[in-house]
Amino acid sequence: MDNRILIGAVIIVLVLIVGVVAITTMNQNINNKPHVAAIYEKSTKFDIANNNSVSWLHMDMAIENVTAKNGSVNTYYIDAFVQPNSNLTIDLSNLFGYGNEKLPAGTYRVLSWLAAYNPTAGNNTTLNFTLQGWSNTFKPGPADQKYPFTFPNAPIYALKNIIKDNSAFTSTNPADLEDVYDDDANENIYMEFLLIVAPDGKVTLNVTRIPEFCSLAAGHNF
């Protein structure tokens, strides 16, 4: 057999093997992303309610310099997706390793990038959402304040088909989430707030930057 033909055949086989390994690895990375599902009764929780009846709300969050139950200090990254007219509750105590305990009293700084998504991209919409935090009960009580927000003329981007339901994907490594579930360049609406947990577990939010268009926030690499 001509050596050139043999070498060409070997190269084709190697390319096919590399392709299969790459696809398998990508699927494993997507399927194995850690996410918070369990909600405990006494824990500290954070809820995102999407009041838009048309578009999904996407909220990327970085909660900075959190002391976990094991004593480690981390920044926690969250990719949250909420369907129209729906809400998603994230158990922060569970995420930080405290299980069925309220978080220690303190202030947690949250950076957030927002975007609207739909199965099909196009047109603009108004982001309309409510944030709320509480502890000690499964559901918030009447004294647990709700914080409503709106942002007009937000572009609607295409939702990746791996997102099927309300979801919160989390990691302490931003590379785990980067451009897997969304495209960072789409997120050019930015807000900041302080999530403050009192000794009794009561949660309040202190909004330090309301949702605003910020071209520097797009492509934030998380």
Domain hosting residue 168, numbered range: 35-213
49 lies in the same domain as 154: yes
Place of tokens 């950076």: 111
Same domain, 40 and 13: no
Nearest alpha carbon to residue 116 among 143, 148, 150: 150
219 in any annotated domain:
no
pLDDT tens track for 62-119: 999 999 999 999 999 999 999 999 999 999 999 999 999 999 999 999 999 999 999 9
Share of the chain above pLDDT 70, in %: 79
Q: How high is the pLDDT of residue 187?
A: 82
Main-chain dihedrals φ then ψ at residue 140, nearest 5 degrees: -70, 150
For residue 2, name the pLDDT band (cuts at 50, 70, 90). Answer: low
Q: Looking at the structure, tell me whether residues 22 and 106 fall in a common domain.
A: no
- Asked whether residue 8 falls in the same domain as residue 117, the answer is no
Among 100-104, 158-162, 185-189, the minimum mean pLDDT is found in: 185-189
Do 10 and 94 share a domain, yes or no? no
Beta strands 146-158 and 106-118: pairing type?
parallel
Q: Minimal CA–CA distance to 102: which of 171, 201, 26?
A: 201
Both 106 and 6 in one domain: the answer is no
